[in-house]
Each structure stands twice: as structure tokens, then as C-alpha cells.
Structure 1
Amino acid sequence: MWKFNPRALHYLNEAARQGSLRKAASRLNIDASAISRQLGQLEEEIGVPVGYRSGQGFTLTEVGEELISLYRQQKASEEATRSRIEALQELRRGHVTLAVGEGFIADLISAPLQNFMQRYPDIAITVEMAGANEAVRLIKEDMVDLALVYAPLPDPDLVSHVASSQPLELITPPGHPLTRIRPAGIHEVLDYPLALIDQQFGMGQLTRLVEQLEHIRFKPQLKTNSVAVLKNFVLSGMGLTFMPRLTVHEEILAGKITCLPAPHPVLSQAKAHIISHKGRELTVASEHLLRHLSNGMLFFNQDKS
């Protein structure tokens, strides 16, 4: 039975993450020949290549990908076990890294995160801003523990711990002509100035899917990678956009924005998720934060929203 050298697996993981042995060596502050030697010994042990070196960098074989998956699962399990031991010792310390889409920030910061940090002052939280595609990449590379994402593409490597219906609704200035059309359809939207978010975000992927299904093409006056820019586009009276209602919750209550029902079935079926990497065991701190956010955030607690 093979007993893989942990150092070789560590070097293989870094080479795959950096895309070359030279960059991995620089990252690890060692000589590239040390990495090459360890990978060579690993390949000799199992009898097949784990990766290919070329002028373009380092590419994993299927065997290499399996070894990387094993290594990351082992590291995650070690971290989870260490965290549980500390919890049993009532140390209550830990660290959670969270990838968050911009649209979730107001809901996250308003009370849930503050309450969690007050209750568990020794757990450190890192929040990384990321669109849906970037958040999924960070999860799959085990760079973050959890991610709050809107309408991510289906992926067998992800686990959705919480999923909440959050339609992508039509956001307009108060008194806009479409507020007098109930319900407003997707084709009526084409007649007015529109702002859209990039397709790296779940909202952008949904609007692109609507275009494909309806054989239409939105011609936005404004494209952006910022939810705040979308919101201010509507607040200034310049035109329309698509966003979940909770993203503009305060502005709706203040009468500064009007929210109309999603003008297409695809948009009405959108969901918000809290996800993690399949096979990665969550730490005690991550599990506590997951439960806290699912109970405390309006995006995931339908009773409160």
C-alpha cells in the first residue's frame, strides 16, 4: 500500500496552485530542484506521472489531481480535528475565511456578523469580496471556508448548506412607467435605459440566460462589476436594473426605489446559497458561523425577511 510523502503532496499542491515549479519554489522559499526531486520520487513510487512540465508551466495529470484532492481533504480534516480539540478544551479560538458577494454585505454587516463576533470574540473572521465565479474558485481551491453566493452555476464539487429563494427582481425609480404595468414583462424592459452587472456574477449569468431563452439582447447603457453602482444608477433616476429585493431593502423602505416582481421565470427561480467545498470538513468555528448566518441573515431566514 502506498504511503504518500506529505512533503511531496505539499509541493505538488503548491506547484498546481502556482502553475509552475519555479513559482512554487519562490512561494515556499526553497530551490526548484527540491520540488522536482520530491515529485520525481512520488512518481517513481506510484509508477505514473503526476504532472507535466513545459514552457507554459506545470499541468497536473488525472493522477495528480486525485493526489491534490487527497492532500486538501487531509489538511481540511486535520484543521477540523484541531479546531474540535480546542473547542473541547473551551479555548473557543479559530479562524474562518468567508467569500461574500457585494449584494450580501449590508445584510451580513448589519447585525449577524457583529453578533457572532461579540459572542465568539476569539474567532477571527476574514471576509473576501468576490462575485459568484470568483467565490466558487476560492472555495474549490480551499482558499476560503464558506461562501455566500447568488445563483451559482451547478457544480458537483460544491455543497450548498443553505438555499433561499431570492428572485432577481426589477428595480426602478419611484413613479417609473413600468410601475403602472402589472406585471411588467421582460420585453417591456427593453424600451428603457438599463444597467447590468458583469457575467462573473450570478445576476449577470441569469440575465444572459434570459437573453438566450428569449432570443433577445439587452443593450445596457451601463455595465459594471459593482452592486453599489447599479443601485445608484436607479437612485439617480437614470433607469432600471435587476437585483434581489433584499439588496435594496433600506432604499425600498425609504421610498427611494421601487421593486417589481421578476419579469421572467428564470429570474423568479433564483436562490442565494451558503456553500463549501465537497469533501472538506468544516472546522468548529466555520460550523458555528454557518449556523449563525443561516439563522441571522435576512437572505437565508425567510421568517425574518
Structure 2
Amino acid sequence: MRHLTHLRYIDVVARERSIRKASEKLNITSTALNRRILALEEEVGTPLFERLPSGVRLNTAGELFIQHIRSQMTDLSRVLSQISDLSGVRRGHVTVSSGPEIMASFLPKQIAKYRQEFEAVQFDVIRHTPAESLAALMAFESDIAFVFDSVLPSDVHIVASVSQPLYALVQDHHPLAANSTLKLQDCLAWPVVSPKTDSGLKTMLEVGRVRTAANLQTVIHTDETEFMMAYVRQEQAVGFVIPLSFEGSPHSLSGLKAIAIDERDVPPGIIHLVQRKGRVLSVAAAKFMDQMVQALNLRFPDTTR
């Protein structure tokens, strides 16, 4: 499989956009790496990179070639996973893209559960915006992605979707904690912790603002769900979450309480569990996908499809 090693060199150079940086990552001298790239370009019959003062970037031929490389590497990973299954020991590598809402609770629990049975499987978990997650799927950089409230292109296969209502998060002794539901207007008197970058959660809050004219008093912008929870424990502030960001009952969150926002103010958002259409996942990735679909159906039987 030496030729695949050479192809991997091209992939790393394409990602790093620098022969020097790629050589450091691959533990090979930049001179030797450049020679191998030149030899491959000669074999292909055309340059694959544009040489720039700041580094290199793929040209049109290179973009076509890199898709072939990544497809080949994905197929090899799947075959090796199937071979390892024959020996009774599941090995493999799974890459998951997700926003912070899923990484706060649901994803760590699912990975831990999976590795209790298949401890030889390794994971890469990458925090992405919805647009970045979709781009990573198309570039074969991720096997699986969670995409929150985004328009999905036709070359993405939706494996499962789950509806997620918005919850306000407050201290369990906060004056709002006695309510079973809240209007956005109820939160106006309190400092708010809001998401910073484009995300499904930010979109839900913007929809609510437009519907209700409720201009929340945001004092902190952050995409870190755990930071938001920790901060709300320190001040009588209001944060916002979806159910996938916490485990168990909204009433048992270690000093916090999650209170549903009236859906007439903010309609539920949709979390999509997706993969690239037409891509055959490795055994390890496919089994992990199946486990997560089962977990979503078990926890949200009425809103998972």
C-alpha cells in the first residue's frame, strides 16, 4: 500500500496548504516531500498545486485528484474495518462533526457507550458550524455530522432528524424557576448568555426576537455550552439550551433548571444526523451511527424520524 502513503502525502499538503507544515506533520523533510509531489505530478501529467509565496493550493486538476484520493482512503478504511471484524475485534476510526449543543452531553455519552464494547475504535470529534460540517462531509473529512437547523444540499443523506424545543436555563432558585413554561418577554429583565456564531440555537433565538420583538439583554456571547451553564450558576442570568445539551430531567441539572420556552414564541429547531449521500461508511462508523439513531428514538420517540 505504498502508493496510498504517497497519496496521503498529497492529502496532507492540500489540507495544510504548505509543504513545510505538511512535512512537519508527516515527519519527512520538506525537500523529500516536494520531490514526491513533483514525481506524482509528472506521473499524472499535469501540476496539481499552484506554487504561491505563502505556500501552495490545489488547482482545478488538483481538486479533482484530491476527491479521488479521499474517496480511495475512505474505501480502504471501510475494507480494513470489515477485515478486522472477521477476527472478532472491531477496530477503526470514526470522525464526527458537530456543533457545541451536541458535544455538551449527548455525543460524549454515546462515544463512551460505544467504546465500552469496542475499545479499539478511535474517534475524532470536530466542532463545526452547520456549514463547516456539510463541507467536511463533502471533502471526506468527516464520516458523520450533526447539523442543526440548516438547509441541506441534495448530496447529503439524512439518517435521522429530531425536533428540539428551546429551553431557558436558570439557577434552581432563580425567580423564573417557579414557572413551567416561559415567554421570551419573561426573560427581558435578566442578563442573558447568548450564542456567538451562526448556529441553530442562534437562529431559534433570532426567530423568537422577530416574532415577539423581545430584545434580550445579552451580556455574554459564547458558543461554549459548558461555560454558559457554569456562568448561569454564578449569576441570576438566563442561558438557552436544547434537550440534547443536557441529560435527564430539566429539573435535575446540579443547581440549574431548564424551563421550556413557549413554542408560539420560538418553534422547535431540527437536528439532522447526516452522512454524505452514496458513501458507504466503515463498519465502525456505521455501527456508531446505528447506536445514535437508536438513542435518539429511545429518548425522543415522538419527535425522531
**How many aligned residue pairs are there?**
296
1:184 lines up with 2:183 in the alignment: yes
SS in 1 for 2:183: coil
* Residues 105 and 246 in structure 2, CA contact (< 8 A), matched pair in contact too: no
1:58-100 CA-to-partner distances (Å, cap 9, x unmatched) read 1112221111111001110111112113223433333334445
Superposed CA RMSD: 3.9
Share of identical aligned residues, percent? 21
Distance 2:98 2:218 in 1: 25
Q: Tell me, which stretches of 5 or more residues in structure 1 are unaligned?
A: none
CA offset at residue 234 of structure 1? 3.9
Q: Which amino acid aligns with 2:127?
A: A
CA offset at residue 9 of structure 1? 3.6
1:271 lines up with 2:270 in the alignment: yes
1:95 lines up with 2:110 in the alignment: no
Distance 2:151 2:220 in 1: 24
- What's 1:121 paired with? 118
* Residues 157 and 277 in structure 1, CA contact (< 8 A), matched pair in contact too: yes
- What's 1:245 paired with? 243
Q: Which amino acid aligns with 2:125?
A: E
Distance 1:193 1:231 in 2: 14
1:188-246 CA-to-partner distances (Å, cap 9, x unmatched) read 65454211122154423544566689898654111223212322444455222321134
Distance 2:10 2:126 in 1: 28
- What's 1:68 paired with? 66
Alignment equivalent of 1:226, drawn from 210, 224, 227: 224
CA offset at residue 163 of structure 1? 1.6
Q: Which amino acid aligns with 2:271?
A: A
Distance 1:193 1:93 in 2: 48
1:57 lines up with 2:55 in the alignment: yes
- What's 1:167 paired with? 165
Distance 1:152 1:299 in 2: 24
Distance 2:261 2:298 in 1: 17
* Residues 295 and 301 in structure 1, CA contact (< 8 A), matched pair in contact too: no
* Residues 204 and 267 in structure 2, CA contact (< 8 A), matched pair in contact too: no
Distance 2:298 2:129 in 1: 16
- What's 1:106 paired with? 105
Check 1:39–1:262 CA distance in 2 against 1; reply closer, same or farther (3 A cut). farther
SS in 1 for 2:218: coil
1:282 lines up with 2:277 in the alignment: no
